């Protein structure tokens, strides 16, 4: 497909992508949350290519994506009623369930754990791909289509930028980047991901002993889950399954990022500029900074939709630091604040350094 053309992938492109998956190749595809980097979940060599392309530690589990109406019993065992209730309420949609894995799930998918993450996405291109792949009976293992630790992609262009798709043809890249580009040549176009942050993850694999556990907050809130299963999911405990999206540093641009309260923002921008520091700003209302700023809405759904694109855009303006106005802390902002906290983790102390404090 012509990368300049943003038309959503058509049936022929989707069918061709399903054949790539069946042959053990990688396909990047849109979901309603973020773009995924997919491989046949039952082919360990194909799943290994995901890790290779992402540069991700291979003991981190990946989510299995299934078509609407897929047979849950094929993929997981010991399915509690709560899981079926959540599937009925939220699939297709941005909810991943962690359940005991079926024996045939490769270790490469579960990261050697006895559980597997499973979800049915709602993006029409994802549904069409999953329905075409192995006649709708397959599972596509897919983490977000970004290099390990980076900001997740919410457009096909983000994926092409991340993996240098097309650059390889021009021979302009070498080493690891060339290797990733060679592994990934199929990127299905699906427009901007509607939700913009990754799926909510609920662990139901230890229900009897620990109850439901919220491993990653997202668009579907803890309260919405409680409304369906009658129990509010708890925060992760020490023994909760590992999730790389829950590492302290993740979703991070290359430029240092720091949070600034609304009341201090204008003053800090001025102080930094006085010292010759180039700032980029993501906020609700702004100091005027031309191209080095993005405004995000003052409500959590619109904010999540624009967050990753804003971080990527501000990463490109060659700023010394990206200031993000601290969003509200209320429950509906939980997913956004969770991602921001991990984005800023590696940049601790950056403001004090620039301000000479």
Q: From the CB of 197, what's the least distance to Mg ion, in Å?
A: 10
Q: Label each residue of 274-303 as H, E or C.
A: HCCCCEEEEECCCCCCCCCEEECCCCHHHH
Q: Which residue from 122, 131, 180, 199 is in contact with ligand TXA, where contact means CB under 6 A?
A: 199
Nearest alpha carbon to residue 23 among 15, 11, 31: 15
Work out whether 52 is an interface residue with ligand TXA (CB under 6 A). Answer: no
Q: From the CB of 310, what's the least distance to ligand TXA, in Å?
A: 18
Site for ligand TXA in 223-262 (CB under 6 A): 241-246
CB atoms within 10 A of CB 78: 12
Q: How far apart are CA 79 and CA 99, in angstroms?
A: 7
282-301 b/e (C-beta count within 10 Å ≥ 16 → b): bbeeebebeebbbebeeebe
Q: Are 139 and 65 in contact (CB under 8 A)?
A: yes
Q: From the CB of 174, what's the least distance to Mg ion, in Å?
A: 26
Q: For ligand TXA, what does the binding mask look like between residues 92 and 121, x meaning CB under 6 A?
A: --x-x-x-----------x--x-xxx---x
Q: Are 202 and 214 in contact (CB under 8 A)?
A: yes
Which strand (E) or helix (H) includes residue 260? strand 257-260
Q: From the CB of 182, what's the least distance to Mg ion, in Å?
A: 22
Work out whether 155 is an interface residue with ligand TXA (CB under 6 A). Answer: no
Chosen from ligand TXA, Mg ion, none, partner binding at 98 (C-beta under 5 to 8 Å by type)? ligand TXA
Q: Which residue from 25, 93, 143, 236 is in contact with ligand TXA, where contact means CB under 6 A?
A: 143
Positive or negative CA dihedral for 281, 54, 50, 102? negative
Q: From the CB of 116, what's the least distance to ligand TXA, in Å?
A: 5
Q: Which stretches of the chain bind ligand TXA, using CB under 6 A?
A: 31, 33-34, 36, 60-63, 94, 96, 98, 110, 113, 115-117, 121, 142-144, 198-199, 201, 215, 241-246
């Amino acid at each position: 497909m012509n990368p300049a053309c943003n038309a959503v992938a058509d049936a022929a492109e989707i069918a061709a992508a399903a054949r790539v998956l069946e042959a053990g190749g990688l396909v990047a595809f849109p979901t309603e949350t973020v773009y995924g980097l997919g491989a046949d979940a039952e082919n360990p060599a194909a799943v290994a290519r995901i890790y290779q392309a992402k540069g991700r530690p291979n003991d981190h589990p990946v989510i299995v994506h299934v078509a609407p109406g897929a047979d849950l019993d094929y993929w997981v065992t010991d399915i509690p009623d709560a899981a079926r209730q959540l599937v009925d309420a939220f699939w297709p949609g941005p909810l991943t369930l962690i359940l005991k894995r079926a024996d045939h799930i490769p270790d490469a998918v579960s990261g050697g754990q006895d559980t597997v993450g499973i979800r049915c996405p709602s993006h029409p291109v994802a549904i069409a791909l999953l329905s075409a792949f192995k006649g709708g009976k397959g599972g596509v293992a897919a983490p977000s289509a970004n290099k390990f630790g980076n900001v997740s992609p919410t457009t096909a262009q983000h994926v092409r930028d991340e993996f240098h798709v097309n650059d390889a043809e021009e021979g302009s890249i070498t080493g690891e980047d060339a290797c990733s580009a060679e592994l990934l040549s199929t990127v299905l176009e699906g427009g901007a991901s509607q939700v913009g942050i990754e799926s909510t993850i609920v662990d139901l694999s230890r229900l009897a002993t620990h109850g439901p556990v919220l491993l990653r907050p997202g668009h579907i809130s803890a309260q919405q889950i409680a409304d369906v299963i009658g129990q509010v999911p708890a925060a992760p405990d020490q023994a909760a399954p590992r999730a790389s999206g829950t590492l302290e540093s993740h979703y991070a641009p290359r430029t240092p990022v720091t949070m600034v309260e609304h009341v201090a923002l204008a003053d800090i921008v001025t102080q930094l500029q006085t010292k010759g520091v180039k700032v980029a700003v993501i906020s609700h209302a702004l100091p005027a900074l031309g191209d080095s700023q993005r405004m995000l809405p003052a409500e959590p759904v619109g904010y999540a939709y624009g967050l990753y694109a804003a971080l990527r855009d501000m990463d490109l303006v060659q700023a010394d630091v990206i200031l993000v106005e601290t969003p509200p802390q209320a429950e509906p902002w939980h997913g956004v604040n969770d991602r921001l906290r991990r984005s800023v983790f590696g940049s601790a102390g950056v403001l004090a350094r620039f301000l000479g404090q």
